[in-house]
Structures are given as structure tokens and as C-alpha cells.
């Protein structure tokens, strides 16, 4: 399906932006150079009549994005959290993409619920409201269970959403291929891999059984987090296209004026949003990867309530340690160590100069260290970071896309609550606590104990492996070199020896 027919879809995308007036607004908001603005208008104007009209009642950007479909809306949701990049006015316009999109009829939602759960609605729910929130993939109804009378939130997928997403992602794949073909320099950014990653994330979001599982796991992992709530799912009232959670009553986090009027401390909330995200990412390696204002509420007691668990991020323990060391290096202004971590993790090619990279990182960190968010131009910072990645041949790490994207979103949410927040100061206690527990002698002992347990499971097989290896070594080797068995087992046994020796050393602590 990723053929040239997608060129038509891309042309209509540009034409829609031109027809709705979104092209001019977007280029001005992003402070695009005059030449680029002129070129975009010249190329877009002849195809203007091919674009979707959209809803004339909406502002230009929102009008264009909603007309183009759900995948574009997802991108707009990310931009809505970054007024420092796209401007306050445009950010406010995009905020409606979070949970205020046009809903589909209640009757259609009822038919979906009955078909998915296999029973009449009256047997399942005693109340079922009109839609209370509608986003790109699904909408939510406030309801009450017939069996217990508990108040719940019922999430129902939009009709035809799977086909719409596949169409958009198909066009994105085609665009990524064109970019790689026409601009070889862009290949280090791995646009095709990025789109594939996005596809995997989104298609998983279209199965609400997986979201139920994520909600359940997230609730278990964060049960002891002070000031944080996660509604638990009702498995018996959930399926592939319907999900039921406990109702979460609170003020949407995007309504800052209402939060202040209710007497909540916006500065404390901003700090908690950032620290909770870092804690979940570092401590658990499992975090909410769609933490925009539309998916967060403030309870009457001041707790943060998270919901919509369709996109969750997961990172392994090694990556968490790398991420923490990079953060703590910036916090402590140890740019040399930050550079070393990048090289050790393979994020920067080994043939680049580590001292030059450290100086480039200093140019990133020093201008913003100690400043509050209102003094930092995130647009200029991101521009310079892009230059650094290009200069040092850094490739996009698809395993870190969700982490990096969520960090950008969460920082934008924190800024909306407290424009003067100092992200380094807020992050420091969380990162330092993780470093103390996971990098150092205690972590070495814990890792060695874990290694010993793994080796214990293989213990009965070790004598046979050693005997086979020695027998293989005793045979004459062909001119081609060691056998495949020898190539396979030698590193394995060498690793065992090193691990056992390290375990013996670690046991002395």
C-alpha cells in the first residue's frame, strides 16, 4: 500500500494547510525564514483547491489538522504542550485536540458497547451519558454500572478509526521514503524507522484490551506514589473496542485558572508532574507516554489523576542508567562525563572527538542552567541541539523516541502551570536518588547477585558446555578459523568466568 498513490495524500495535506490558512499561521509561529515562507506559498497556492475545507468555525491550524485525520491530530497534541515553540496563541488553539474534538453520536457508541460486550446496555449500565470528552481515537461517556451502581468512565473507539490511521501512516511511510531518497543526509535521523515506531505505538492504542493491561500495571507500580492516582480498569466491562475505568473526578490540568480558583498550588503541581514522570521512567522503566493536559486532572484533595493509557513507554535498566547519568551530568555541569556516557552507550560514533563533543554540550547546558523556564527559548535550544546531532553524526534512537517525546510534553505541561519553573532544580532530587540506588557499589552487588541467579539456572549444563568446548578446541581447525560452535560458546564462557570473578570481588564489599 506504500505506493505512489500516497503522493496524492501528501499533496492534499499541503493543499489543506493552504486552503484553511494554516500554512501561513504555522510558518509564522515557527518563525520560518522569509524565503521558506515564500516558497511554501508558491508551491501550495496552485493546489489550494484540492485541500479539505474543514470546519470554518475552528481556527486555521486546528481546522486543517482535524480535517486531515487522527494521525495528524496526534502530532498536534504534542505541539499543544509547547507554547515556547509554537507560541501561546497557537498552543491554546491546539489544546482542543486533546479532548474537545467533535464526538460521534451516543446511539453509535451504545451499539458498539452492546456488540462488544454481547449484552443489552441496560443489563450492563444503568446510566450512559452523552460524550463528555472526545479525542482523536475514542470518546468517553460517564456511566454507572447496573450491578453495583459504581460511577465509571466508558471509552469507545471511533468507528472506522483503524482504517483512517492505516491510511495516514501509509502516507507517512511514503513521505519518509521520499525524504531519505532525496536527502541522504536525513538518513541518520532514520525517518522510516521513526514512522515504523510510531505505527507500532498507535496500532497498539487501537486495542483497548492492551490499554486495560497498561492501566492495571501502571496502577500497581505507582500505588505508593504520594499525590498520584490511577483509576483501575473493570475487565468484565472491557473489550477490544470498549474500555471501562473507575470515574476520576477533578479539574482538567489545562484549566489553570480553575485550578488556582480551587486553591491548588500550581507551582507544587508543576514540580510534581515533572518529578513523577522522572520517577516512573527511572525507577520503574514504565511511564505514561501521553502526559498532556488532556490526560491529567487535579482531584479535590490536590492529587494528580492520570488516565488514557493507550501510549505507555518502557525502557530497560541499562538505558535508564544511561539516561540518569546524562541528566545528573548536566545538573552537576560535568559535561565531560555527559560526553563519555554518550560515547559509552554508542549514541555518538567512536571516531568523533570526545572533547569537542563535551564543549558542544557545554554550549547547550551553560546558557540555560539556573534559568527559569520563562528565560529559555526552547525553539532556539532545539535548533542548536539539532545542529549538534548533525555535526557529530548522532542517529535517531527509536528506543528513546517515546522517552524524549514525553519529556518534551511533560516539561511543556509543567511550564503551563508555572512559567518560571527551574527544571534542573526540580529534577535533581529524583535523579540523585536514582543514582545513589542504582549506580555504585550497591548496584554492582545487586547486579552480581542477579548474574549469579542466572548462572545458577545454567549450573547443571556448565560441565557439558565446557567439555564440548574443550573437545572442539582439541580437533584440527579448518583454514577458515574456529568452528561456529567455538565462536558461539567462547564469548559465553568468557562472560561466565568474568561474571564469577566479579561476583567474588563484589562479595567482599
Q: At what angle do helices 401-417 and 423-438 cross, to 10 degrees?
A: 140
The residue out of 76, 98, 120 marking a domain boundary is 98
Helix, strand or coil, per DSSP, at residue 460: helix
Judge if 456 and 494 occupy the same domain.
yes
Q: Looking at per-residue confidence, does 278 or 96 come out higher?
A: 278
Judge whether 49 lies within some domain: yes
> Pairing state of beta strands 304-306 and 151-157?
unpaired
* Dist. CA 110–CA 94, nearest whole Å: 29
Judge if 11 and 51 occupy the same domain.
yes
* Dist. CA 415–CA 267, nearest whole Å: 9
Residues 205, 215: contact at Cβ < 8 Å? no
Helix, strand or coil, per DSSP, at residue 169: helix
Q: At what angle do helices 6-19 and 161-182 cross, to 10 degrees?
A: 100
Q: Looking at per-residue confidence, does 449 or 230 come out higher?
A: 230
Judge whether 26 lies within some domain: yes
Judge if 268 and 319 occupy the same domain.
yes
* Dist. CA 220–CA 122, nearest whole Å: 31
The residue out of 411, 439, 467 marking a domain boundary is 439
Handedness of CA 294, 299, 304, 305 (dihedral sign): negative
Judge if 424 and 275 occupy the same domain.
yes
The residue out of 387, 414, 439 marking a domain boundary is 439
Which residues have a Cβ under 8 Å from the Cβ of 460 and sit 6 or more positions away? none
Rg (alpha carbons) of the chain, rounded to whole number: 26
Judge if 445 and 435 occupy the same domain.
no
Cα–Cα distances (Å) from 388 to 95, 356, 381, 382, in that order, read 31, 11, 11, 10
Judge whether 148 lies within some domain: yes
The per-residue pLDDT for range 413-457, each reduced to its tens digit, is 898 899 888 887 888 888 888 888 877 666 666 667 767 766 666
Is residue 245 predicted with pLDDT exceeding 70? yes
Kindly report whether the global pTM for this prediction surpasses the value 0.85.
no
* Dist. CA 356–CA 325, nearest whole Å: 19
Structural domain harbouring 365 = 249-439
Chain-centre distance of CA 203, in angstroms? Answer: 14
Judge if 263 and 202 occupy the same domain.
no
The per-residue pLDDT for range 171-212, each reduced to its tens digit, is 777 777 777 776 666 666 567 776 776 777 777 778 899 999
Helix, strand or coil, per DSSP, at residue 9: helix
Tell me, yes or no, if 290 is annotated catalytic: yes
Is residue 480 predicted with pLDDT exceeding 60? no
Per-residue pLDDT at 491: 46
Catalytic residue among 84, 168, 290, 308: 290
Judge if 198 and 259 occupy the same domain.
no
Residues 323, 358: contact at Cβ < 8 Å? no
Cα–Cα distances (Å) from 115 to 110, 121, 239, 259, 377, in that order, read 9, 10, 10, 39, 50
Cα–Cα distances (Å) from 508 to 137, 447, 498, 501, 503, in that order, read 55, 14, 16, 11, 9
Which residues have a Cβ under 8 Å from the Cβ of 291 and sit 6 or more positions away? 273, 277, 306, 406, 409, 410, 413
* Dist. CA 259–CA 252, nearest whole Å: 8
Judge whether 1 lies within some domain: no
Q: What is the mean pLDDT of the chain?
A: 79
Judge if 56 and 114 occupy the same domain.
no
Judge if 64 and 150 occupy the same domain.
no
How many domains does one find in the chain?
4
Per-residue pLDDT at 455: 65
φ, ψ dihedrals at 249, nearest 5°: -90, 130
Judge whether 300 lies within some domain: yes
Judge if 500 and 352 occupy the same domain.
no
Judge if 208 and 150 occupy the same domain.
yes
Per-residue pLDDT at 108: 95
* Dist. CA 20–CA 10, nearest whole Å: 16
Residues 325, 439: contact at Cβ < 8 Å? yes
Residues 340, 431: contact at Cβ < 8 Å? no
Handedness of CA 192, 198, 200, 202 (dihedral sign): negative
* Dist. CA 265–CA 225, nearest whole Å: 18
The per-residue pLDDT for range 141-155, each reduced to its tens digit, is 999 999 999 999 999
Judge if 315 and 231 occupy the same domain.
no
The distance in angstroms from the start CA to the end CA of the chain is 60
Q: Looking at per-residue confidence, does 489 or 69 come out higher?
A: 69
Instruction: Tell me what percent of the residues of the chain surpass a pLDDT of 70.
Output: 72
Amino acid at each position: 500500500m506504500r505506493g505512489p498513490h500516497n503522493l496524492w495524500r501528501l499533496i492534499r495535506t499541503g493543499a489543506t494547510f493552504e486552503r484553511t490558512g494554516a500554512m501561513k499561521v504555522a510558518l509564522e509561529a515557527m518563525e520560518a525564514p522569509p524565503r521558506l515562507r515564500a516558497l511554501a506559498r508558491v508551491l501550495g497556492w496552485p493546489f489550494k483547491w484540492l485541500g479539505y475545507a474543514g470546519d470554518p468555525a475552528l481556527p486555521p491550524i486546528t481546522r486543517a489538522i482535524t480535517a486531515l485525520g487522527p494521525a495528524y491530530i496526534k502530532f498536534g497534541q504534542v505541539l499543544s504542550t509547547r507554547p515556547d515553540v509554537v507560541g501561546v496563541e497557537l498552543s491554546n488553539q491546539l489544546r482542543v485536540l486533546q479532548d474537545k474534538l467533535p464526538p460521534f453520536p451516543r446511539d453509535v457508541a451504545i451499539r458498539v458497547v452492546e456488540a462488544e460486550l454481547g449484552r443489552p446496555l441496560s443489563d450492563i449500565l444503568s446510566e450512559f451519558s452523552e460524550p463528555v470528552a472526545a479525542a482523536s481515537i475514542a470518546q468517553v461517556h460517564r456511566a454507572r454500572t447496573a450491578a453495583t451502581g459504581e460511577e465509571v468512565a466508558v471509552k469507545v473507539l471511533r468507528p472506522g478509526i483503524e482504517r483512517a490511521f492505516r491510511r495516514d501512516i501509509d502516507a507517512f511511510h511514503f513521505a519518509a521514503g521520499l525524504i531519505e531518497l532525496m536527502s541522504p543526509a536525513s538518513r541518520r535521523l532514520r525517518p522510516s524507522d521513526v514512522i515504523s515506531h510510531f505505527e507500532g505505538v498507535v496500532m497498539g492504542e487501537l486495542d483497548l484490551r492492551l490499554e486495560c493491561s497498561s492501566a492495571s500495571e501502571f496502577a500497581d507500580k505507582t500505588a505508593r506514589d504520594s499525590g498520584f492516582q490511577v483509576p483501575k480498569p473493570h475487565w468484565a466491562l472491557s473489550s477490544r473496542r470498549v474500555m471501562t475505568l473507575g470515574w476520576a473526578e477533578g479539574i482538567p490540568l489545562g484549566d489553570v485558572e480553575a485550578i488556582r480558583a480551587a486553591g491548588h498550588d500550581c507551582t507544587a503541581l508543576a514540580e510534581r508532574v515533572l518529578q513523577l514522570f522522572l520517577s516512573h521512567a527511572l525507577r520503574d522503566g514504565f511511564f505514561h507516554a501521553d502526559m498532556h493536559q488532556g490526560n491529567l486532572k487535579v482531584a479535590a484533595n490536590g492529587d494528580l489523576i492520570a488516565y488514557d493509557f493507550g501510549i505507555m513507554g518502557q525502557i530497560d535498566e541499562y538505558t535508564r542508567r544511561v539516561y540518569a547519568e546524562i541528566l545528573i551530568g548536566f545538573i552537576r555541569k560535568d559535561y565531560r562525563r555527559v560526553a563519555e556516557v554518550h560515547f559509552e552507550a554508542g549514541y555518538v560514533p567512536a571516531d568523533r572527538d570526545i572533547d569537542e563533543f563535551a564543549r558542544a554540550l557545554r554550549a547547550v547546558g551553560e546558557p540555560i542552567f539556573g534559568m527559569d523556564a520563562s528565560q529559555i527559548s526552547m525553539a532556539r535550544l532545539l535548533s542548536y541541539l539539532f545542529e549538534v546531532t548533525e555535526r557529530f553524526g548522532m542517529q535517531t534512537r527509536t528506543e528513546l523516541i517515546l522517552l524524549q517525546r514525553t519529556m518534551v510534553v511533560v516539561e511543556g505541561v509543567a511550564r503551563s502551570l508555572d512559567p518560571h519553573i527551574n527544571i534542573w532544580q526540580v529534577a535533581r532530587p529524583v535523579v540523585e536518588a536514582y543514582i545513589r540506588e542504582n549506580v555504585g557499589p550497591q548496584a554492582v552487588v545487586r547486579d552480581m547477585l542477579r548474574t549469579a541467579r542466572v548462572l545458577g539456572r545454567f549450573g547443571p549444563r556448565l560441565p557439558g558446555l565446557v567439555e564440548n568446548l574443550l573437545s572442539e578446541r582439541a580437533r584440527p581447525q579448518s583454514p577458515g578459523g574456529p568452528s561456529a560452535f567455538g565462536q558461539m560458546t567462547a564469548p559465553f564462557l568468557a562472560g561466565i568466568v568474568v561474571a564469577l570473578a566479579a561476583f567474588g570481588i563484589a562479595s567482599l564489599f
